[in-house]
Copies of this chain bind each other. A is one copy, B any other.
């Protein structure tokens, strides 16, 4: 009888494993059945790279409350929208946004067929690596660099160029591809939220087409769940072939007050969780956490880990965190300390 009982358990276990494996890709795993998630949590910590402290507890408590139909914090699965900034929230943004490094690289490549750039700012500054002159060119110079590197070609060609750069470029400090410099705790958090019925989105100031060259591979977030800045694009026939032509004109800036607008237009629902790391995320956090009906959570990643990554906030030119840091306390936004709350930073550490 004992061995038969063991056989019974072995069968049960085998099916349970099959069940967990088979559903691992499902967005709504157990979303409507709180017990299933509770059972799974008893076996495996879904956030192993997060230290077991008050920060992690607040996130786990929020998720538990949101999926408990008897809790006033409950939110229907279809309304569980979570938005994440990209640069500095999901991957490294120092010493320069990856997309900016791409743009500078691209300008240097294009300079070969633009000899006039040798004497023309801001291109001269880029070619000569003259940081001061580049900064002096200001927003207008930056816009010129972005347009020169991002437009005047088909969508397909841009995708190829950006994909190759992302594959080949190396981060100046870590000497690894940027795609290796994504934060492991955030990957765990994305999957944890999805396993609890959330739909996850990236909402970034970066250009949506640049991000989509790596977001599916790196974050397992499909293209339609990436919201970003964009330039004007025109559909036309080129030699009889349908083509999307990227034009040198900004269509939408998905940063600061643009983030709630981008969310409204693209996602069509107010998030219940927003995760950012800079003042560019202020309005997204504000919009998210002032919503009504169930719990809301705003989270800010504080880069305070010079040893494993970088330490910066109020004074930084890239990813400045000042206004949002001041607002966090009175708004109830959760501050995540990279140094104290994450036991692992990068996936490959």
Q: A-side interface residues toward B, CB under 8 Å?
A: 1, 4-5, 7-8, 11-12, 15-16, 18-19, 22-23, 25-33, 36, 78, 155, 199, 201, 208-209, 212, 216, 222-226, 230, 233-236, 241-242, 244, 251-252, 257-261, 264-269, 283, 286-287, 290
Contact = CB atoms under 8 A, between A and B. Distances in A.
Nearest to A228: B265
Given A26-B26, A235-B261, A236-B257, A223 B8 contact: no
Q: How many copies does the complex hold?
A: 2
A265 B8 contact: no
A203 to B, nearest CB: 12
B222 A224 contact: no
Contacts of A235: 257-261, 283, 287
Most chain-B Cβ atoms within 10 A of its Cβ — which of A199, A252, A260, A283?
A260
A157 to B, nearest CB: 13
Most chain-B Cβ atoms within 10 A of its Cβ — which of A242, A252, A269?
A242
Contacts of A233: 261, 264-265
Nearest to A264: B244
Contacts of A266: 224, 266
A155 B244 contact: no
A255 B126 CA distance: 40
Contacts of A283: 235, 242
Nearest to A3: B4
Nearest to A156: B270
A267 B22 contact: no
Contact of A11 (B12, B23, B201): B12
B19 A15 contact: yes
A168 B85 CA distance: 40
Most chain-B Cβ atoms within 10 A of its Cβ — which of A1, A268, A287?
A268
Contacts of A265: 208, 230, 233, 251
